[in-house]
Chains A and B, each alone.
Chain A
Amino acid sequence: MKWNSRIRCALACLAFTAVFSGFSFRLIYLQMIKHDEYAGLAAEKHVYKQIIYAERGAIFDANNEVLAHNVPVETVVADATHLNNLDAIVDLVGDELKISARELAAKLRGDRRYIVIKREVPKALAAVLREKLRARNLRGIYFEHDATRIYPNGSMLCHVIGFTDFDHRGIQGVEASMEEYLHGQDGYRYIEHNCAGQEIVLYRGQERAPRNGYQVHLTVDLNLQNIVENEIDSAMREYTPQKATIILMRPQTGEILAMANRPNFDLNLRADAKPEQMKNRAIIDMMEPGSTFKIVTAAAALNERTVRPDSMIFCENGVWNFGGSALHDHRPFGELSVQDILVKSSNIGAAKLACSVGEQKFYEYIRRFGFGERTGIELPGEISGLIRPPQSWSKISITRIPMGHEIGVTPLQMTVAMAAIANGGKLITPRMVKSITSDDGKTLSSLSPVVLRQAISPQTARQIGDALRGVVSDRGTAAAAAVPGFTIAGKTGTAQKVDPKGGYEKGKYVVSFSGYLPADHPEFVGLVVLDDAHTNKPELNYGGLVAGPIFSRVAEQAARYLDLQPHEEIRKALPVERVALTNVPPR
């Protein structure tokens, strides 16, 4: 009996020990071996990663005027499984967000659980809607933080600024090229919710603050841009060209002061814009430059010392047969000096200058001026133009390329080439971005001018500059480009439009003028290009008569804005209107 009770007692103890050992082992297994797995599963139920959104950086002009910034908005979404009174929700939400009840009901009755009802809802409107939903105890509608990009100046500088997509990624202009700086880095915070869905602040976990995007300051001066935009608009009204481009650039630093293209579009209404309106023609349009290209030809010949500025070239009295093809001048010329070839814009003279240099050397000079390669401006989609190597030239190419045919250049390349003449032969990389700052104003990067190469000697640049002054005189082709009180150097261009089917389109021209002011110490270089301008009389469709006066008006206003001191000796220059009527410049 005594033995039995002891055995029973021992067995009971053993059983208890075994049971509790089992519990202990299970506890150790769950708490230690499977800890991470179950902790993760528990965290999934309660812990959420809350995204703290970073703000996209703003874009400013050279004077800190806002060009692009953000406005906070909300995206109204619905969780179809949480909707408790569909009809009432449709009535209220449709009424507040101005969506037709039928459309909204169809959306909410769809198969999907997550439904975007409306994007870019103003904060104030979202707050009103939120309150009304709460007051009527309607559930299933949620509000997500978002921001939309606002461009206060609408269409001004639209091709340069560009725009962003729904995900706030830049897809055009500076918005795209400076994406890595403008786009901030979102932060996060691990939080826990209670059963009512409210955050329990006490249990906040790991946290990382967001880094807002950097602010980009452009070299563009909105005052100069405004001058350019007004003039390009009046040119569009007056001449109704297919396309137009005006560029202003500071030759010493490569800073782009203004850049305008037509057709254009309103950045705030970009959804309505056509692809043709969105093209930044200054960098993605290729054109035959026409006679403006003669500066490269003359520079090559002078720099190679095959001729001197006063060397006389026989211009064949207007017709020169070369390679089995006749080359014409707009007017017969006999002997012309190298300077006068530019002043009078003689095609034959330019061709003979190129012949004196030779195909290979001439090609080298074309490349030295930056043609055939991207300029490197901070804008996306820039093309390099089309310059064929001498091996692909025909027999007559050496006579056609010098006058700006058989090549494709962008308006910006042409501006940069003219800037090299204005800048003592130094080819500068054009720049659109002046500096990058953090949102507290600290400068992170300040970009300085980049001299690509010495394209020609300073002496040659001076000689070309002297000749270009003659172009903007009553002797030259661009008297109408003159600005009273200032000496201007420049060159006109009138190129027949290339027909996509082959050959040239009759009666259609790309007219241009490229010049700088003041000629002695250039403050800015300008280019005006009009594609297929319409004039009252076809014989008036020339660079000097159409693009020249536009340049004159832009340059005059820009000089006034930049407070440039006029030269007293030419203060009483011929009025532009009279000059335009009394001189019929050649092509």
Chain B
Amino acid sequence: MNRSRHRNWNRVDAASLARWIVLTAFLALAGLSYVYLTLQLYHLGDRKKALENDLASLRTQNDVASVQIAALTSRSALQRRLKEGYLKMIPISEHNIVRLTMPAPPNGEDAIQPVANQPAGR
């Protein structure tokens, strides 16, 4: 009786099953990885876009700041502030001006001009 029952049972081919399980798992993993990596690509794309926007925003802020600096330090702005009394200029007195010796004029237009490097006091 027992012998005949044993004979009717389906035998499981463990090795084959394992192969199929591994293959299925591999395919599932590959599929999931593909989906995960694709999503990552989208995510990185969004981050790239956000960084580009940040960079553009920083450039814009930099440009605006440069314009403000140029406007505030321009000659016209400084003169206006001088007139308004926010700035004060003290004229340099004659005895505080040190004039360097003028180099001799060159003989020709293309002549090489010597460097004035004689030590002072000699």
- Complex Cα gap A252–B102 (Å): 17
Instruction: Name which residue of chain A comes closest to B79, CB basis.
Output: A226
Closest Cβ of chain B to A36, distance in Å, is 27
Pick the contact of A153: B44, B46, B76 (CB < 8 A). B76
Query: Using Cβ atoms and an 8 Å threshold, which residues of chain A touch B71?
Result: 150, 152
Chain B residues at the A interface, C-beta cutoff of 8 Å: 41-42, 44-46, 48-49, 60, 63-64, 66-67, 70-71, 74-77, 79, 99-100, 102, 105, 109
Interface pairs (13), CB distance under 8 Å: A70-B63, A71-B63, A71-B64, A124-B64, A152-B67, A152-B76, A153-B74, A200-B42, A201-B44, A201-B49, A202-B42, A252-B109, A565-B99
Chain A residues 317-357 with CB under 8 Å of chain B are none
Residue contact A69 to B49, C-beta cutoff 8 Å = no
Residues in B neighbouring A124, C-beta threshold 8 A: 64
Quick one: closest A residue to B101, CB to CB? A565
In A50-84, which residues have CB < 8 Å from any B CB? 65-66, 69-72
Interface string of A224-268 (1 = CB under 8 A from B): 001000000000000000000000000010000000000000000
The 7 A-B pairs with the shortest beta carbon distances in the complex, nearest first, are A201-B45, A152-B74, A71-B67, A66-B70, A152-B70, A202-B45, A72-B60
Set of chain B residues within 8 Å of A154, measured between Cβ atoms: 76
Residues of B within 8 Å of A373, CB to CB, are none
Interface 1/0s, chain A 126-161, versus B by CB < 8 A? 000000000000000000000000101111100000
* Known contacts A201-B48, A565-B99: A150-B75 contact under CB 8 Å: no
Shortest distance between the CB of B115 and any CB in chain A (Å) = 18
What's the Cα separation between A155 and B75 when bound, in Å? 11
Docked CA distance A70–B71 (Å):
12
Query: Do residues B75 and A72 form an inter-chain contact, with CB atoms below 8 A?
Result: no
B76 CB contacts on chain A under 8 angstroms = 152-156
Report the separation of the CA atoms of residues A150 and B70 in the bound assembly, to the nearest whole angstrom.
10
Contact of A563 among B48, B77, B99, B109 (CB under 8 A): B99
Q: Which of A184-227 contact B (CB under 8 A)?
A: 199-202, 222, 226
Which of these, B60, B66, B77, B109, contacts A69 with CB under 8 Å?
B66
Q: Which residues of B contact A305 (CB under 8 A)?
A: none
Q: Which residue of A lies closest to B60 (CB)?
A: A72
Residue contact A521 to B67, C-beta cutoff 8 Å: no
| Residue ID in chain A nearest B47 by CB atoms | A201
- Which residues from B are CB-within-8-Å of A72? 60, 63-64
Partner of A65 from B44, B75, B102, B109 at Cβ < 8 Å: B75
Question: In the complex, A378→B36 CA distance in Å?
Answer: 61
A153 x B75 contact (CB < 8 A)? yes
Interface size bucket, A side?
Answer: 20 to 34
Please, which residues of chain B bring their CB within 8 A of the CB of A199? 49
Give, as a whole number of angstroms, the nearest-CB distance from B73 to chain A: 8
CA distance A563 to B99 in the complex (A): 7
Q: Cβ of A123 < 8 Å from any Cβ of B?
A: yes
Q: What CA separation (Å) do A123 and B75 show in the bound complex?
A: 26
Most chain-B CB neighbours within 10 Å: which of A153, A200, A521?
A: A153
Listed residue (B44, B105, B109) with the most chain A CB atoms within 10 angstroms of its CB: B109
Chain B positions within 8 Å of A226 at CB level: 75, 79
A-chain residues with CB within 8 Å of residue B44 when the two chains form the complex: 201
Bound-state Cα–Cα, A429 to B7, Å: 114
Instruction: Report the bound CA distance from A123 to B63 in whole Å.
Output: 11
Q: Are A123 and B70 in contact (CB under 8 A)?
A: no
Contact of A150 among B48, B60, B67, B109 (CB under 8 A): B67
Give A202 to B70 CA distance when docked, in angstroms: 40
Closest B residue to A253 by CB, please name it. Answer: B109
- Which B residues are in CB contact (< 8 Å) with A71? 63-64, 67
Q: Nearest CB to that of B109 among chain A residues? A: A252
> In the complex, A564→B41 CA distance in Å?
67
Min Cβ gap A393→B in Å is 37
Nearest chain A CB to B43's CB is how many angstroms away?
10
Bound-state Cα–Cα, A535 to B67, Å = 43
Q: Which of B41, B63, B79, B100 contacts A202 (CB 8 A)?
A: B41
Task: Point out which of A65, A123, A202, A252 has the most chain B C-beta atoms below 10 A from its C-beta.
Answer: A202
Contact in complex: B46, A201 (CB < 8 Å) = yes
Which residue in chain B gives the minimum CB-CB distance to A127? B57
Q: For B44, B66, B74, B99, which residue has the most chain A Cβ atoms within 10 angstroms?
A: B74
Residue numbers in A under 8 Å from B41 (CB-CB): 202
Contact A200:B99 (CB < 8 A) given known A66-B70, A152-B70, A521-B105: no
- Nearest CB of chain B from residue A564's CB, rounded to whole Å: 8
Task: Out of B77, B100, B109, name the residue touching A152 (CB < 8 Å).
Answer: B77
A201 to B79, CA, bound (A): 50
Q: Give Cα A124–Cα B79 distance, bound, in whole angstroms.
A: 29
CB distance from A206 to the nearest CB of B (A): 17
Task: Name the residue on B nearest A68 (C-beta).
Answer: B70
| A152 cross-chain contacts in B, Cβ below 8 A | 67, 70-71, 74, 76-77
CA distance A252 to B63 in the complex (A): 38
Closest beta carbon of chain B to A360's beta carbon, Å = 31
